[in-house]
Chain A
């Protein structure tokens, strides 16, 4: 079985985000970029399935600017076998990415797509679901455990108030939650080997997908500054404030 893993290039999770002075978006000039952490979990899960003999090939795919190639190299350094870059300078929105991924799925015919549940830049949490809908495939989002047996998929999901276990036929789309696994560090020799692994470059035009943005961003703002806290003198005072001022207990 072939597994397709979409990976997104986002601002590194350690970077303090700065909003552009004109409020048109986030300043990404000279900012460190990395693979979306949820996508790392997706790559790790795919590699584990390959190591367990369930998957035969892991293909990483990234949509966006030319530098997304670095994100694909990072996935291949972890253990993905090859990469596909759908290159465009257009700002991609979730529906456009889902359409591009659908075209790639039709070309590659994977048995399983494992995606991150959301990207840490726009937190949209849409692409995996949209892809499943466009393909007409079953989906299991927010996966915290994935088991593949006899062509069937058992996925444990983290939902409000507990865990839900689903059984799905293949092919299917999974999106990963934080606790699915702990991604490995790529070893330094594997990083060297990754540069020899192939990357195919495609374009939205070649895939017949119109990626024109459907949504317009009106304004991006910094979150409000945190207000100073209050020191309380005793536990009794704390309980009194929680009950009567904050009204949380």
Chain B
């Protein structure tokens, strides 16, 4: 936790400089090779990026959500693949343990997640359970002091790199919905756990997803998160509330980068005898982008502050995630448009961002799921207090 402006500015300036001097120059190489160079990963570890949100007593920095989103605004100024690599350790890969883990689980895993020695991954989605996550079919059957897991998880971020997985599985087959689901910590070298080959994706090369398959995978009972069955779906939803604000913050950062690239291009590119930035139709695209970025930034900061204050931010997180990621899509489209023919060419990099940001509107709950979350919150409130 920072909580003083001087230290926070120094921290954000350091991240901004790391992004500018180390990550931006490596963007094209990461996209070409689908791999983040080892020396950059080592530098991210040394900087402490993997431990941003892990409590200080477990070796992290214990940043508040308000502080964390400001780091992501800065990290957004480069390819999202970099944030994705350490981001699961700060977010969905560690938070189930941080929020609902037992003291033993925290002591065992959090220090290694904070240092980046261990990569954490979050396994909820299945081939038949995406948006309808509560219908998941992976089972966990108690046998003595173990649970036996069977099932397949799909599109699992950082699975090829992960050392531990937070896995949501059904412990009570009689309960079809959310109540029958429990969350487990599964170590990578557990017999019966298989990670598939990395998926071939539209964008975000350098960040990897893969299937994770469990075949009679025996997990010690002490790895049931929180030590209580039937809490797994609630844990997952709490993790996702936080994750949605983080994705919204990243979308704001990347939108800022794309606008900056488009602005620079518009000021340099001349047509009809003057820079295209002087034409009002181009100006409209720049202005609309800036205004929307500002709105999304304010939403993200407000949602983060409310979460820090202990409020239930289910509604605000969904609003911020939906608006910021849809905004990011519009800014990406305008940034390509401002670049004209050059925007369609790989050389300028903007088409890469255009593909990278398409994912923001899909993962951590699609825009349509956010709409349902928002509407349900409204209707529930109307029924309670209306």
Contact A185 B4 (CB under 8 A): no
Q: Which candidate, B9-17, B184-192, B220-228, B296-304, is the interface stretch facing chain A?
A: B9-17
A-B contact count (CB 8 A): 47
A191 within 8 A of partner (CB):
yes
Chain A residues whose C-beta falls within 8 Å of the C-beta of B48 in the assembled complex: 187-189
A36 within 8 A of partner (CB):
no
Contact A70 B18 (CB under 8 A): no
Chain B residues whose C-beta falls within 8 Å of the C-beta of A186 in the assembled complex: 10, 14
A61 within 8 A of partner (CB):
no
A42 within 8 A of partner (CB):
no
B193 within 8 A of partner (CB):
no
Chain A residues whose C-beta falls within 8 Å of the C-beta of B51 in the assembled complex: 189
Chain B residues whose C-beta falls within 8 Å of the C-beta of A195 in the assembled complex: 4, 6-7
B320 within 8 A of partner (CB):
no
B43 within 8 A of partner (CB):
yes
Contact B7 A192 (CB under 8 A): yes
Interface hits, A1-17 → B, CB 8 Å: 14
Chain A residues whose C-beta falls within 8 Å of the C-beta of B49 in the assembled complex: 188
- For B18, the closest partner residue in chain A by CB is A185
Contact A191 B10 (CB under 8 A): yes
A74 within 8 A of partner (CB):
yes
Q: How many Å lie between the Cα of A77 and that of B6 in the bound state?
A: 12
Contact A73 B10 (CB under 8 A): yes
Give how many A residues have a beta carbon under 8 Å from the other chain's beta carbons.
16
Q: How many Å lie between the Cα of A118 and that of B11 in the bound state?
A: 26
Chain B residues whose C-beta falls within 8 Å of the C-beta of A69 in the assembled complex: 6
- For A12, the closest partner residue in chain B by CB is B13
Cβ-neighbour of B47 out of A14, A70, A73, A187 (below 8 A): A187
Interface hits, B1-43 → A, CB 8 Å: 2, 4, 6-7, 9-11, 13-15, 17-18, 20, 43
B52 within 8 A of partner (CB):
yes
Give how many B residues have a beta carbon under 8 Å from the other chain's beta carbons.
21
- For B1, the closest partner residue in chain A by CB is A192
Contact A192 B14 (CB under 8 A): no
Q: Known contacts A34-B13, A185-B17; is A192 also within 8 Å of B46 by CB? A: no
A113 within 8 A of partner (CB):
no
B369 within 8 A of partner (CB):
no
Kindly name the residue among B4, B46, B47, B49 whose own CB sees the greatest number of chain A CB atoms within 10 A. B47
A194 within 8 A of partner (CB):
yes
B61 within 8 A of partner (CB):
yes
- For B2, the closest partner residue in chain A by CB is A192
Kindly name the residue among A70, A74, A191 whose own CB sees the greatest number of chain B CB atoms within 10 A. A191
Q: How many Å lie between the Cα of A194 and that of B48 in the bound state?
A: 15
Q: How many Å lie between the Cα of A168 and that of B377 in the bound state?
A: 74
Q: How many Å lie between the Cα of A194 and that of B6 in the bound state?
A: 11
Contact B6 A189 (CB under 8 A): no
Chain A residues whose C-beta falls within 8 Å of the C-beta of B7 in the assembled complex: 73, 191-192, 194-195
Q: How many Å lie between the Cα of A194 and that of B43 in the bound state?
A: 20
Interface hits, A182-226 → B, CB 8 Å: 185-189, 191-192, 194-195
Chain A residues whose C-beta falls within 8 Å of the C-beta of B20 in the assembled complex: 14
Chain B residues whose C-beta falls within 8 Å of the C-beta of A191 in the assembled complex: 7, 10-11, 14
Q: Known contacts A187-B48, A188-B52, A188-B61; is A70 also within 8 Å of B9 by CB? A: yes
Chain B residues whose C-beta falls within 8 Å of the C-beta of A185 in the assembled complex: 14, 17-18, 43, 46-47
Chain A residues whose C-beta falls within 8 Å of the C-beta of B2 in the assembled complex: 192
Q: Separation in Å of the B42 CB from the closest CB of chain A?
A: 12
Q: Separation in Å of the B70 CB from the closest CB of chain A?
A: 12
Contact B61 A77 (CB under 8 A): no
Q: Separation in Å of the B325 CB from the closest CB of chain A?
A: 27
Top 4 A-B residue pairs of the complex, sorted by shortest distance between their CB atoms: A188-B48, A195-B7, A189-B48, A191-B11
